[in-house]
Structure 1
Amino acid sequence: MRLTSFTDFGLRALMRMASAPTRAFSTAEIADEFGVSRNHLNKVIQRLARHGIVATRRGAGGGAMLARPASDIRLGDLVRLLEEDRALVECFSPDGACCVTPVCRLKHKLNAAESAFLTELDRSTLADIALPAPVAA
């Protein structure tokens, strides 16, 4: 299974936030640290904020921070949220069409594999993968 860059960026940002849960991180700071697009990361942070994973505030000292303890945030839930509307294969999407659907035996296997993948991620929390706190220069 391959995760999108959207999910990759989101998980990395959350891992950094989990390293200092009471601190607000600017999107620019996180984007620079990981060498990712600020614009793309902004979209990720907006989705996380809409779903109550992070809280954001504007202005001096503003940024994004975890909205609840990292130990309460399951990795499987994060991947489900960040990969929302991105089907593993075309036939899993609501409008997906496949000429072998009536006789396909692969779809069931892929669905079971995806479920097992997410179940494994549900066993861990964001606290389990928090990055070490950045070292001040």
Structure 2
Amino acid sequence: MRVTYARRMRLLRSTDLALRVLMRLAVAADATPTTRQVAADMEVPYTHATKVVAELQHLGLVDARRGRGGGLALTERGRTASVGVVVRTFEGEGDVVDCEGTPGCPLRSGCRLRGALRRAQEAFFAALDPVTVADIVTDPTGPLLLGISRGPAERD
């Protein structure tokens, strides 16, 4: 049995970044930061932020406008989005363990571990389902996000 490392009870980097982008935009108030600004605020590579923002836009959670006066804004759907749904979407479908790999696990025909791990994974997601993006930016997180979204000169 091989463990698929991306499926541990640990979020992929893209999932983590998606949640942080949503949180950052949730406290943006009237501002519409650019992807480059959000990447700098979150201290992540611009190319990674671009891919995540594109997926968030595709999901209808973020509105992205190009050009002068453009920027990113959280949609109402994004504000009320379930964290569990966002995590499921970015993590993708799949088992915690790869029982069918090469070579396949010799226990796969009678193993109970795979089912137990699948239930644990679903419990992980289910615990996040009732939590919304708006919920995770309440105090003390919101003011902290606002603090990191200002440039160094503005923080002092």
TM score, norm. by length of structure 1: 0.86
Q: Which residue of the partner structure matches residue 66 of structure 2?
A: 58
Indicate how the Cα distance of structure 1 residues 87 and 66 shifts in structure 2: closer, same or farther if over 3 A, else same: farther
Q: How many residues align?
A: 133
Q: Does 1:23 align with 2:35?
A: no
Which digits, 9 at most, give the CA deviation of each residue in 1:27-71, with x for residues without a partner? 111111121111011101111111111111101221221121555
Task: Quote the Cα distance in structure 2 between the aligned partners of 1:86 and 1:52.
Answer: 24
Task: Quote the Cα distance in structure 1 between the aligned partners of 2:108 and 2:83.
Answer: 31
Q: CA RMSD in A?
A: 1.9
Which digits, 9 at most, give the CA deviation of each residue in 1:3-45, with x for residues without a partner? 0110111111110111125532211111111211110111011
After TM superposition, list the pairs within 5 Å mapping 1:1-137 onto structure 2.
1-20=9-28, 22-85=30-93, 87-91=95-99, 96-97=100-101, 98-99=104-105, 100-130=107-137, 131-132=142-143, 134-135=146-147, 137=154
Contact 2:61/2:78 (CA < 8 Å) preserved in 1?
A: no
Task: Quote the Cα distance in structure 2 between the aligned partners of 1:125 and 1:31.
Answer: 22
Q: Which has the larger radius of gyration?
A: 2
Unmatched 5+ residue regions in structure 1?
Answer: none
Identity in percent: 37
Which digits, 9 at most, give the CA deviation of each residue in 1:102-136, with x for residues without a partner? 12211111111111111110121100112325245
State the shift of 1:85 in Å. 5.0
Contact 1:21/1:69 (CA < 8 Å) preserved in 2?
A: no
Indicate how the Cα distance of structure 1 residues 85 and 113 shifts in structure 2: closer, same or farther if over 3 A, else same: closer
Unmatched 5+ residue regions in structure 2?
Answer: 1-8
